[in-house]
Amino acid sequence: MEFRILGTGSATPQLQRNPSAFVVTIDNFLILIDCGEGTQYRLLEHKVKISRLRYILISHLHGDHYFGLIGLLSTLNMQKRTEPLVIYGPNGLDEIIGLQLKYSGTILNFKLNFSVTNPTGFNEILNTETIQIKTFPLKHRIDCTGFLLTKKKYKRKILADKLPENFPATFYKMLQEGHDVVDEFSGITYINDEYTTEGCPEKRLAYCSDTIYDETIVDYIKNVDLLYHEATFLAEHAERAKLTFHTTAAQAASIAQKANVKRLLIGHFSSRYKTIEDFLTEARAVFSDTTLSEEGENFIF
């Protein structure tokens, strides 16, 4: 699983930091999480192949998290996309996009499927052979959801060079599933450990968009491999964070510590701060394995 950062800023425009947008790569397809203004330019800049985009997740309807969506959809259309695209997002997003398409006279070449997220509870929105995605509630000024993405454990990897030619396909499947195989015709038993190796383990990513400090999310994100959590303010502006339903760097680190995550990534920095080194200092005082979001950086885990 790969997690690429396309934007590290918050709502007020900043020349050095773009609004929220992140790309998750799983096997040969992409998932876009949030889509702030200009996201398609960031995708171009970092040579992300948008033809591989399969799902879009929108956390909430504040502009710095979705204003880039209509532009991206228009570009996909001009590129003659025909494959369906699924967007998971808050109630009303389908209406907003529908009106923009209607009044611009745009007819999409591809099917656009909207799925409304539930801003309460822990809800599964997608479950395939490769990935599971769940939503959980965040406490912001409007309905907002976090996302938990689980890349499922791969089946065992077969050491094909050790197997005879014309090895039956059904036997391959049995080995992948961890079974020993007995060939009744030859009398040979293929011991699984001798002909396979472990597949890639399960990996989990939690994405916490805009939210006030809220310990109730800990149960949803326990032990994840990577936690992205907003950290709009420093502790000196904790009252401002509370008033605007945002989080400080120290509070984000506290959530990471309580959830026993492996690694914390903080972002969504307020434009009031001209440098962000203090965010790292503040967060690491609470949770040592903290990293600052940097534009274009890619985390592989």
What 8-state DSSP symbol labels residue 187? Answer: T
Closest of 154, 151, 163 to residue 198, by C-alpha:
154
Tokens read off for 134: 């769940």
How many helices (H) and strands (E) the chain has is answered by 9, 18
Closest of 227, 226, 222, 254 to residue 238, by C-alpha:
254
Closest of 118, 143, 124, 133 to residue 66, by C-alpha:
143
**H or E element, residue 175:** helix 169-176
Phi, psi of 135 (to 5 degrees): -110, 155
Is 64 annotated in the active site? yes
Residues in the chain: 301
With helix as H, strand as E and coil as C, how does 236-282 read?
HHHHHHHHCCCCEHHHHHHHHHHHCCCCEEEECECCCCCCCHHHHHH
Set 27, 34, 64, 94: catalytic member: 64
* Residue-wise burial string across 94-104, b where 16 or more C-beta atoms lie within 10 A, e elsewhere: beebeeebeee
Q: Measured between alpha carbons, how far is 9 from 292 in angstroms, rounded to an integer?
A: 12
Residues serving a catalytic function are 64
